[in-house]
Amino acid sequence: MRFTGVAALALAAILATACKPSEPAEDTPPAPQAEPPAPAGPAAGTLEWAASGDWRPRRDVLRNRFRHPVQTLRFCGLKPGQTVVEVWPGGGWYTQILAPWLKRNGGTYIAALMDPALSDRVRALNQGFMRTFADQDLYGPIQTSILSADSPGIAPPGSADLVLTFRNVHSWMARGMAPKAFADFYKALKPGGILCVVEHRLPDSRQQDPLARSGYVQRAYVKELARAAGFEFEAQSDINANPKDSADHPFGVWTLPPVRRSAAPGAAPEPGFDRARYDAIGESNRMTLRFRKPGAPARESTDGP
């Protein structure tokens, strides 16, 4: 077959193009690389969010593994809309979690503080607490009361849904005010309200010191304090248990982290004290107990006015 001149030129052009390797146009941008998705944090308003909040000092967040705040507060019965009293919150480790969570979930937080008349140290502790939690945008309005041997009450009678105390029973025993404290808790709670207690646990086989000078308390002793005040025992949990803690340390529970005593208060540290041995135990073995004030909460009326 013969080609005319024009046809031959067209065919040559087609063949030349077909044989030439293809090249991307210079103005075509490269395909974008997909960014890996950022890890999602806990949803705002959840207990996980409050426990890991960036407003909390890192040293406090690291203690979550010993204090288990999310599991503990769920066991205690924390719910949206509650009025919650935390008794003797100290520097506010749990307040950092409770107050933002309650603000987000329509609740009320009350701190029952130590009596500032006890000492300059207690007065400074209370003042530091109020400075730390002054940001109402984050913590909401912090209400306060006093728990002491002669205080009138930690909240108006029958106003609280939940009373919480963390590692304080031994201090009330040392001051001879433990029965009065539990009576105040009972008075503050609504019918059906809950008292939740976390405390350093003395083994049942050991004799209880009525002043709890080691910082450890028998579980049965706490149950009896609550029963005598009128509470019904509801449940117990090993959330905060630590089987490595033998509860027989040279400087009591304060030998262990986070206090880490290596000598009696006011004394020089003992030479050669084996600090690592106690640090390896971690924080104390703790009971977690839930009690209920008898009676059902008042049912809200659904009738019109």
pLDDT digits (tens, 9 = 90+) for 180-223: 999 999 999 999 999 999 999 999 999 999 999 999 999 999 99
For the segment 118-167, what is each residue's pLDDT rounded down to a tens digit? Answer: 999 999 999 999 999 999 999 999 999 999 999 999 999 999 999 999 99
The C-alpha atoms of residue 282 and residue 184 are separated, in whole angstroms, by 33
Which CATH number fits the domain that encloses residue 233?
3.40.50.150
**Percentage with pLDDT > 70 across the chain:** 84
Is 182 a member of any domain?
yes
| Whole-number pLDDT of residue 273 | 92
Kindly state whether residue 243 falls inside one of the protein's structural domains.
Answer: yes
Asked if pLDDT for residue 13 goes beyond 60, the answer is no
Q: For residue 164, what are the β-bridge partners? A: 86, 196
Which residues span the domain enclosing 141?
57-292
Spatial distance between the Cα atoms of 75 and 65, rounded to a whole number of angstroms: 16
* Residue 1 pLDDT greater than 50, yes or no: no
* Residue 134 belongs to a domain: yes
* CA 197/CA 173 separation, integer angstroms: 14
CA 295-296-297 angle, to 5 degrees, is 120
Is pLDDT at 266 greater than 80 in this prediction? Answer: yes
Mean pLDDT of 26-47: 66
pLDDT for 230 beyond 80: yes
pLDDT at 152: 97
Residue 8: pLDDT band (50, 70, 90) is very low
Domain count, the chain: 1
Amino acid at residue number 71 = Q
User: Looking at the predicted structure, is the pLDDT value of residue 30 above 80?
Assistant: no
pTM: 0.84
Q: Is 245 within the bounds of a domain?
A: yes
Predicted pLDDT of residue 271: 86
Q: Which residues contact 270 (CB under 8 A, 6 or more apart)?
A: 262, 263
In a domain? residue 30? no
E strands, 55-137, in order:
83-87, 108-113
Question: For position 67, what pLDDT does the model report?
Answer: 98
5 lies in some domain: no
Q: How confident is the model at residue 110 (pLDDT cuts 50, 70, 90)?
A: very high
Neighbours of 70 (CB within 10 A): 20
pLDDT of the residue at 269: 85
Least confident of 9-23, 97-111, 123-137: 9-23
Residue with more model confidence, 73 or 4: 73
Tell me, yes or no, whether 244 lies in a domain.
Answer: yes
pLDDT band at 10; cut points 50, 70, 90: very low
Q: Taking 80 as the threshold, does the pLDDT of residue 35 lie above it?
A: no
| pLDDT at residue 295 tops 80 | yes
Q: Are strands 160-166 and 83-87 parallel, antiparallel or unpaired?
A: parallel
The verdict on residue 39 lying in a domain is no
Task: Please compute the mean of the pLDDT values over residues 30-39 and round it to a whole number.
Answer: 55
Q: Tell me: pLDDT of 7 over 50.
A: no
Average pLDDT, the chain: 89
Two tokens at 44?
């705002």
